């Protein structure tokens, strides 16, 4: 059985603009391959090759350009969570681990399926300085499942802004049926 993750996954949101962008770019490319002898442009029938060429370029720019932009937005929405996951795994492997005390669990302004996502805020004293760490958006409340009311935080000593609050690793085994 697979362990339940408390972190809300958002990569699937990018699949819709990715698909729409592919459809728009495919229509733009197919339109470039369709043979045209004469074109009815604004009620005027013309057979000049320059008018046909300009029509094809305008259509390619309109459909292909908007399709490309939509595709790139979808690609960013899919790729960014994968990048975050790799960054968190690198911090877990190479970063410094500290046990942080939970100070707050609050809802965010992000709503999914009429439920507000939440974030966990924790604090740890590192080299005599108190640092506050915030988790990624959470789909479930992890507080009942945490060991000793503490979470593990992995951070980069060279850049304290690079950290990862490991809620899944700090919780007991939770399996969703």
Per-residue pLDDT, 46: 65
Query: If you write DSSP's letter for every residue of 36-99 in order, what string do you get?
Result: -S-EEETTEEE--HHHHHHHHHHHIIIIIHHHHHHHHHHHHHHHHHHHHHHHHHHHHHHSEEEE
The pTM of this model reads 0.73
pLDDT of residue 3: 66
Which residues have a Cβ under 8 Å from the Cβ of 75 and sit 6 or more positions away?
14, 18
In tens, the pLDDT along 18-57 reads 999 999 999 999 988 887 766 566 666 666 777 778 888 8
Domain extents for the chain? 11-83, 95-170
């Amino acid at each position: 059985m697979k362990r339940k993750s408390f972190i809300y996954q958002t990569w699937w949101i990018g699949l819709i603009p990715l698909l729409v962008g592919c459809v728009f770019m495919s229509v733009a490319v197919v339109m470039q391959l369709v043979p045209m002898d004469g074109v009815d442009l604004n009620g005027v029938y013309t057979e000049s090759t320059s008018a046909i060429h300009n029509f094809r370029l305008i259509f390619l720019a309109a459909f292909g350009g908007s399709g490309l932009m939509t595709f790139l937005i979808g690609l960013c929405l899919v790729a960014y969570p994968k990048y975050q996951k790799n960054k968190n795994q690198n911090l877990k492997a190479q970063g410094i681990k500290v046990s942080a005390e939970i100070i707050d669990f609050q809802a965010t302004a992000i709503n999914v399926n009429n439920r507000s996502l939440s974030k966990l805020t924790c604090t740890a004293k590192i080299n005599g300085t108190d640092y506050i760490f915030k988790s990624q958006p959470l789909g479930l409340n992890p507080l009942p499942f945490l060991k000793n009311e503490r979470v593990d935080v992995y951070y980069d000593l060279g850049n304290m802004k690079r950290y990862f609050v490991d809620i899944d690793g700090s919780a007991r085994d939770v399996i969703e049926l």
